Chain A
Amino acid sequence: MYVAVKGGEAAILATHDLVAEARRGDPAVPEISVAQIREQQALACARVMNEGSLYDQDLAALALKQSQGDVIEAAFLMRAYRTTLPRFGSSEPLDTAAMAIRRRVSATYKDLPGGQVLGPTYDYTHRLFDFALMDEGGEAAPRKAPAPLDATMPRVPDILGAEGLMEAEEPPEGDPRPFDLTRDPVSFPADRDVRLQSMARGDEGFLLGLGYSVQRGFGGSHPFVGEVRVGEVAVEFVPEELGFAVDLGEVTLTECQMVNQFQGSKDVPPQFTRGYGLVFGHSERKAMSMSLVDRALKSRDFGEATNYPAQQDEFVLYHADNVEAAGFVEHLKLPHYVDFQGELELIRRIRREREERLAREQDTMPEAAE
């Protein structure tokens, strides 16, 4: 129960000043700029854009600056800002096959059209400190190949799909508009579009843990990374007044296609099954975790047992959102004085009654023992 009480205004104003000072740190150290965060902490910005569910690199950088690098607080700022903006509409569905590739690897095919492109990755670093970065690092001078990559690279599941070995992924009849959980309440069982939207804005750590649980046996998935690709994709939008698609510019995306073991039926011969992950920015861990959990959440569709958390849509969808989760966990800090007074009164009464009962039992006890 919450009871309105007055007071604390001066304390709250004082804390605003104090947190501003804490955020700034030692004034002898130069202040970090939003552009520096955007350019030099781009992976953190990507996480804020995903969990804040708003693609805007400058705002993500500002959110990180304002929140002292607290990613969930930064995502909260993005969500709050988003609610102040009008929505012009929905984009045309992104065409990730037309991505300008910066990185693309497959664990299923060594030699695939377009090749294995490592791109900018920490995968092959030794995780040893580069103490040179304690000072200013200077400029890197990456190598350049004489020719660019192939203009388009087939998505790996489409290669398997051409052989009929992969579960088909086709739009349902009429290619319906997707459900939007920011506009309508979610109900269960949740369809795939709801699950994918929820995971795209879900907490990376939560999805990573669930994805890991599936691999370790709490869901029995044994997938291969069919493909991870990172790069830029154009966003197209049809404004009402123009009536044709306008190219709004590019967003950076990470896509993961996970290839899982077989499903078949009387009518369909055994096929590999898919798990799909798509996220803003360069966020491979998130895209891979999402694709693991996406496959796990298909269990019911395939008539598999759903004994584990990652297979249960209600559990996953209700707990993936870190802004909601943080809100409910952290609201425990807010005044609960009246609630607690009630609890105090209750426990005192229980103890008093217990003492009275013990005293009564003492009185009625026969003194024959002596």
Chain B
Amino acid sequence: MATLARASRSEIETLLGVPPDHDLLKAPETGTVMVEGRAGGAGRRFNLGEATVTRCVVRLANGRMGFSYALGRDGRKARLAALLDARLQDEAEGSGLHQGIATLAARQAAARDLASRKAAATKVDFFTLVRGS
């Protein structure tokens, strides 16, 4: 679900292919989640502010349920992600769909790695000037 939450709608659409028949148990709905922080990073909890979240629950013809929860307001993405979640539970590990998720996860990890390497290029190397003569 973490990978799907970070994937774009078109990535999910491509991976899912033709959407299977399903019932909408919970139609795509946008609401908020109150994001909590901790004072000092580790202390008392406090409310930082809300974030938009869209959720969806589907049931495939075989009864399998799929869930989707992700930041943002994309209802279509939520529905497709819930369908994918249901399909993934039915498929064996190592199947095409699971491989597709692994590819998405690898792409996301590569993007994180690239961002981190760009930040690392701005890391300071201190050197001490020789003082006096």
Contact = CB atoms under 8 A, between A and B. Distances in A.
B125 to A, nearest CB: 9
A178 B44 contact: yes
B33 A143 contact: no
Contacts of A58: 72-73
Contact of A249 (B43, B46, B71): B71
B2 to A, nearest CB: 4
B123 A96 contact: no
A16 interface: no
A170 B43 CA distance: 4
Contact of B42 (A170, A182, A280): A170
Contact of A280 (B29, B49, B121): B49
Interface stretch (B12-20, B94-102, B112-120): B112-120
B54 to A, nearest CB: 10
B42 A82 contact: no
A100 to B, nearest CB: 6
Sort chain A's interface into a size bin: 35 or more
A155 B40 CA distance: 9
Interface in A39-79: 49-50, 53-56, 58-59
B71 A175 contact: no
B47 interface: yes
Given A149-B120, A249-B70, A196 B46 contact: yes
Given A56-B73, A235-B71, A180 B42 contact: no
B89 interface: no
B118 A143 contact: yes
A102 B36 CA distance: 21
Given A87-B33, A280-B49, A251 B71 contact: yes
B44 A193 contact: yes
Interface of B: 1-2, 5-6, 29-53, 55, 57, 67, 69-73, 112-124, 126
